[in-house]
């Protein structure tokens, strides 16, 4: 049973030390701080702009579903069913602003950076592959030339007759151990 506890603790430790868990924690903290900024923009800029066409507080827009929707000033209770669509609109605007800022300031630049990096890596690998292929071709030519010399072919690597061959020998190569001189 102690083996399971050790493996559970090791698994939990591995889970916590993985990079994406830490990235997620940082994202949550930054997102919480960013939410305050967006809410301030909505309340300080968007609500007054909307207020130019109606009330100054976007969240005060509402409709009554049933009844006259009168509010008792002493208790604060409302008669009828009130739908607060202004607060929903305010939350939707906050979401759109947050999504736009995250996309244009974080996602789009990072995507462009990663695309440039991938293109540079692909170009680097393409050059490396070209060098490897040309080296391979040169090595094949050397191998073919050595095989041709050993087998005593009359034609050189270019297909023409070899020059400088010794008369009566095997193409100018030194005789082997079993050949007569």
Structure letter (DSSP) for residue 61: -
Q: What pTM value is reported for the model? A: 0.47
d(CA 14, CA 2): 18
User: pLDDT tens per residue, the chain (181 residues)?
Assistant: 555 556 888 888 877 777 777 778 888 888 888 888 877 887 788 777 777 777 667 777 788 887 677 777 788 777 778 888 888 887 888 788 878 877 888 889 988 999 999 988 888 877 777 777 787 788 888 999 999 999 875 555 555 544 444 444 444 445 545 545 4
Q: How far is CA 176 from CA 70, 149, 154, 170, 180, in A?
A: 117, 13, 18, 10, 8
25, 34, 96, 99, 112 from 102: Cα distances, Å: 17, 10, 10, 5, 14
């Amino acid at each position: 049973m102690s083996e399971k506890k050790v493996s559970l603790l090791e698994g939990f430790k591995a889970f916590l030390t993985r990079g994406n868990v830490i990235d997620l924690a940082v994202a949550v903290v930054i997102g919480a701080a960013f939410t305050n900024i967006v809410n301030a923009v909505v309340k300080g800029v968007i609500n007054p702009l909307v207020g130019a066409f109606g009330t100054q507080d976007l969240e005060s827009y509402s409709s009554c579903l049933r009844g006259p929707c009168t509010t008792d000033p002493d208790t604060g209770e409302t008669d009828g069913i009130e739908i607060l669509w202004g607060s929903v609109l305010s939350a939707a605007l906050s979401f759109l602003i947050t999504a736009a800022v995250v996309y244009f300031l974080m996602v789009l630049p990072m995507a462009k950076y990663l695309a440039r990096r991938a293109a540079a890596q692909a170009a680097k690998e393409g050059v490396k592959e070209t060098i490897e292929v040309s080296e391979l071709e040169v090595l094949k030519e050397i191998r073919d030339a050595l095989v041709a010399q050993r087998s005593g072919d009359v034609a050189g690597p270019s297909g023409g007759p070899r020059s400088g061959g010794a008369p009566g020998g095997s193409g100018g190569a030194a005789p082997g151990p079993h050949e007569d001189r």
